[in-house]
Amino acid sequence: MSARGRAVDRLLTLDELPVPPLPETEVVRARELAARHGMTREHAVDLDDPVIARVERVAAERDRPAVRDRDRSLTYAELAAEARRLATLLERSGAGPGTVVGVGGERCAAVVAAFLAIELVGALYVPADATWPAARVRDVLDQAGAGLLLVADDASAEGSALAEGARAAGCRIVRAADADGGPPWSGPARLESLDQPRYVLFTSGSTGRPKGAVVEHRGMINHLYAKIVDLELTGADAVAQTAPLGFDISVWQMLCPLLVGGRVEVVDDEVGHDPVAFAHAVERRAITVVELVPTMVRHLLDDLAATPGQAGALAGLRWMIATGEELPAELARRWLAAMPHARLLNAYGPTECSDDVTHHTVTEGDLDLLRLPIGTPILNARLYVLRAPSPEEGAEEGEDGSWSACEIGETGELFVGGVCVGRGYLGDPERTRAAFYRDPFDQAGRLYRTGDAVRLLPPGEGGRDRPVLQYLGRVDRQVKIAGVRMELGEIEAVLRRHPSVGAAAVIVHEAHRPS
């Protein structure tokens, strides 16, 4: 079994992280290039304001609907009251500052209240989705060091895989319903510092063992405000919560509207997996912002086009956000033609950096590119395109193995700095040191190595007045043939442009000549 107690004790300190092999001359050059090409974006954000504090201020100013699921709707005052009752239940069950609390079940209003309750007691949130098998629930809760699982809905209680996995991980199980009628927790949210760990989400690992990425309070709050600023969110907006609890986008979907007095509209899987039913739900519930993976965007367009009488579907939608997969240019073209009233945002970001680190509003001018831009940095993110020499290049790139900064148009690897960078992987120092560094551009910060190949596109193409980043695939998919660098993902992008090709995969086959 994993260790219980404070999560911060199972994280590496800044001094324990490696120093990147970037010479000082390249540090200066990379910093200058990032500033010149708009890859840094400073913006004042009130990072020490917990979400629950904002919820209670909205309730006091003018109470209004806050979150609605299939079964019930909560106003801001009702949401805050439920969070405070849950906080009392959690504290009496052993949760406190720095401990890890699992939250399991289906998407529902109780999960939103549970997150706010965990924020109140100063603990970390780790989700366990109701669709997971018991073995994954056990692995996630065990690796996280969770001593407690709060079950959000009765359907996920006794007898479920969720409960079985929690018991196998040694977790005490409590139900959200147990807080009904209980006393409210008093006092402000326990926020010890801005770098306090706020949640841990488990991503897939190449070894098959999931990695628990820890996000700080300031990184989470900064990302929420990045969405508010770039999407121009107001109290009139309603955001669809469609993501499974184990996905990072579920965090902003259920919290961001609460900072501006908007609504969280929880969409269950039965509706979310039926494109036409989902479109009707968006229209009926006056949802204005939706985020889907491109595959689901494609299904949505296909099914609406094939269903009579759907010409006016999604008429009230302001934004469609595509994330999680590469957004093909031909799909973007279809969206802009079918839904000209709803802007299309291409978003990119790793879980390790508090979710998205770039945004790009797709325009007609982008559609002639082989691969769409992923854009420019969100608030207070700093992006660097660096190149590490491959072993066979030797003296050509620098025999000491040092990295170099990439000029505009050159392919390199994306590195992320700023308040968005998380704390590393919980209880996993080896994999933390492989991806996180002491930031040479900010001695008090961390630098995250994404493993993604990118390049900066110059201004002018597509009518843009500034450089933007273009995603090219994973760095381990770059090959060299006859001395020429090739990106397999770029070849796939060319193949997908053919109208008869729906999907494409490119591999390298090394032919052996007969002796």
CATH fold of the domain at 51-190:
Rossmann fold (3.40.50)
64, with CB counted inside 10 A (0-12, 13-18, 19+), is middle
The DSSP string of 482-499 is TTEEEEHHHHHHHHHTST
Q: Which residue has the higher pLDDT, 258 or 390?
A: 258
Give the amino acid at 225. Answer: Y
Average pLDDT over residues 178-207: 90
Q: Worst-scoring range by mean pLDDT, 346-360, 373-387, 463-477, 483-497?
A: 483-497
CB 365 within 8 A of CB 251: no
Average pLDDT over residues 165-188: 96
Confidence of residue 376 (pLDDT cuts 50, 70, 90): very high
Around Cβ 293, how many Cβ atoms within 10 Å?
17
pLDDT at 487 over 70: no
Q: What is the number of residues in the chain?
A: 515
Per the prediction, the chain carries an average pLDDT of 91
pLDDT at 191 over 80: yes
Q: Which residue has the higher pLDDT, 515 or 375?
A: 375
What distance in Å separates the CA atoms of residue 502 and residue 315, rounded to the nearest whole number? 28
Residue 152: partners with Cβ closer than 8 Å, 6 or more residues away: 103, 104, 105, 106, 108, 110, 111, 114, 176
pLDDT, tens digit, 9 for 90 and up, residues 441-483: 998 999 999 999 999 999 987 678 899 999 999 887 655 443 3
Radius of gyration over every alpha carbon of the chain, rounded to an integer in angstroms: 23
What distance in Å separates the CA atoms of residue 169 and residue 154, rounded to the nearest whole number? 20
Q: If you ran DSSP here, which 8-state letter would residue 156 be given?
A: G
pLDDT at residue number 312: 80
Confidence of residue 14 (pLDDT cuts 50, 70, 90): very high
Report residue 308 CA to chain centroid gap.
35
What distance in Å separates the CA atoms of residue 286 and residue 238, rounded to the nearest whole number? 7
pLDDT, tens digit, 9 for 90 and up, residues 386-417: 997 654 454 344 446 799 999 999 999 999 99
Report field, pTM of the whole predicted structure over 0.75:
yes
pLDDT at residue number 313: 84
Residue 255: partners with Cβ closer than 8 Å, 6 or more residues away: 51, 112, 115, 220, 224
Q: Minimal CA–CA distance to 453: which of 438, 464, 468, 469? A: 469
pLDDT, tens digit, 9 for 90 and up, residues 280-324: 999 999 999 999 999 999 999 999 999 988 868 899 999 999 999
Average pLDDT over residues 413-428: 98
HEC string for 389-412: CCHHHHHHCCCCCCCEECCCCCCE
Around Cβ 121, how many Cβ atoms within 10 Å?
21
Beta strands in 85-244 (DSSP E): 100-105, 124-129, 148-151, 172-175, 197-203, 211-216, 238-241
**φ, ψ at 481 (rounded to 5°):** -125, 120
pLDDT at 205 over 70: no
pLDDT at residue number 154: 76
CB 402 within 8 A of CB 410: no
Structure tokens of 196? 């306090």
Around Cβ 261, how many Cβ atoms within 10 Å?
22
CB 427 within 8 A of CB 143: yes
Structure tokens of 397? 């790139």
pLDDT at residue number 148: 97
Q: Which helix (H) or strand (E) holds 162?
A: helix 161-168
